[in-house]
Structure 1
Amino acid sequence: MSNHYLNSPGLSNANQNLVLAAWARSLDIEAHALHRANDDASAIQRFEIAAEHDLTDWDPNTATFIQLFNISLLYAPTWFLDAARNIDDDVLALESTMLQLGYEAGARSLGEEVLYYAEDIPYYEDAQLNVTSHSKDIRRLEAACPPDDIVAKPLDALDHYFTISAFGEHSEPIAGAGYDVFSDTVGQLAVLVAAAQRTKGYGTFMLARVAEECMFDGLIPQWVTPVGDEIGEKMANDVGFILSGYRTSVTFA
């Protein structure tokens, strides 16, 4: 997780600022401070945000460390901020470090993740596919997936979602995708492919399609995948997403 890889020249400075502004709004901090620090690539600057109950998108019983472009953000209880203050970003980003700092509070890992953003999405032809936005189709798709795939938020609970299937009277859903609007500017994407339809390129197709829908709505697409998830990372690279950061989170007992 070297900071060397976090600066993303492929993502325009204007869109970097929009992404940073979205994070700033969600954390109720000043966006201009993030912008200024991001423009100075000579020294990574960490911003500390004390965990609060009145931030809609954040759980005060967690600690989250984010490396994004040329800055880093640490949202955590005050005691965790104090304990982490003198630890280098590359070390703090490790799951083991976060768990060690929160050991006495019963820390449990929520994982290490890669953050991607996109500006330009390749066009994928879908003339031979039926696109729907019905909850019943999402339920049918989820029934065709392993239970572990449905642990996260259901697709039909997202702000926008759709499924694809072949044309036909009783065609089963092949895949689905959707996104939540984060802080007015970013679309947080999700993709789900029926177990029997995997390794056929539908995941990449759906990621491109939902990212395109997201941009049509004036949002910057965000794709988050676990560190080491080769499939998720390959999908991102194939579609044209740009590696922009990392996120490590723990929750406390």
Structure 2
Amino acid sequence: MNLDSGTIAIIQLAWSRHLGLEDNALAETDSGERIYSVSERAQTLCFLRLFGTEVFSGPEWAADRARSKSALELTRNSGLVQMSMEHGGRTLGAEQLFFADSFPTVAPLEELAVANDPGLALALERLCPPDDVAEAGLAGKEDLFILVDDSLDEPRPVAGAGYSITDGILADMSVLTAPPYRLQGLGSYISSVALEDAMAGGLIPQWRAPLDNVGAARTAVGSGFIPAGVKTSVALSA
């Protein structure tokens, strides 16, 4: 399955604006070529590879070093950290980017209900490891969809998904599943519900998964998302 060419153009527009580039910068740069966005006031180094086109942003000294680096070297956190060590380089993470532009097939789960209560998102976070909670940032999303087992005396959240609108175009998604309910397809199910809602609102769903998180990538693909790129960032000391 591939993304529609019109969808790709909109994603390129959104990311061009996000990176402070001309609107057509990513669309008009050939696959395999690299754009350098240089600012001496930049406090981060960022490397993006999206639909084959590469963008490196940061100060001039960093751009000079990046010109001799491969995409693989710049994608790895260690590569950006090593080239910025004397400037206090501190990793902000490496993530894989997924997008979707087709409505998923979502069959209702008779034994579980979907709620939009932010309180249930907080309750779900309390059931999950702190690292997972921080990575998902679910309770902070603008639109929430919480899968609830309401067969109990007190409804229990088992999984949740949500999104916030970024750059006016993209629905930035996240998902969180309580540990006892993982590997049952519940994360993919509730993500599909959120995806459908975002697309109905005219948005393009975007999923960002840590590069080393195989489970998150699997959930994204299971929810109908297609991998399209990677992004790595490093913070510089002030």
Question: Structure 1-normalised TM-score?
Answer: 0.85
| Structure 1 partner of 2:197 | 213
Compute the displacement of 1:156 (Å): 2.8
| Structure 1 partner of 2:139 | 156
Structure 1 CA distance, aligned partners of 2:38 and 2:118?
Answer: 38
What aligned pairs does 1:1-253 form with structure 2 within 5 A after superposition? 10-37=2-29, 40-41=30-31, 44-51=32-39, 60-128=42-110, 129-152=112-135, 154-168=137-151, 169-253=153-237
Give yes or no for contact 2:35–2:54 (8 Å, CA) kept in 1: yes
Percentage of identical aligned residues: 31
Structure 2 CA distance, aligned partners of 1:33 and 1:99?
Answer: 27
| Structure 2 partner of 1:6 | none
| Residues 20 and 52 (structure 1), Cα distance of their counterparts in 2 relative to 1, 3 Å cut | farther
Compute the displacement of 1:52 (Å): 8.1
Cα deviations by residue, 1:54-102 (Å, 9 ceiling, x for unpaired): xxxxxx4221101000311112233322321232323322222211111
- Unmatched runs of 5 consecutive residues or more in structure 1: 1-8, 54-59
| Residues 152 and 70 (structure 1), Cα distance of their counterparts in 2 relative to 1, 3 Å cut | closer
Give yes or no for contact 2:103–2:199 (8 Å, CA) kept in 1: no
Give yes or no for contact 1:121–1:239 (8 Å, CA) kept in 2: no
Misfit runs of 4+, over 3 Å: 50-53
Cα deviations by residue, 1:174-218 (Å, 9 ceiling, x for unpaired): 111111111111111000111221121111112212111111111
- Unmatched runs of 5 consecutive residues or more in structure 2: none
RMSD between aligned residues: 2.0
Name the count of aligned residue pairs.
Answer: 235
SS in 2 for 1:32: coil
Structure 2 CA distance, aligned partners of 1:189 and 1:113?
Answer: 13
Question: Structure 2-normalised TM-score?
Answer: 0.90
Give yes or no for contact 1:116–1:241 (8 Å, CA) kept in 2: yes
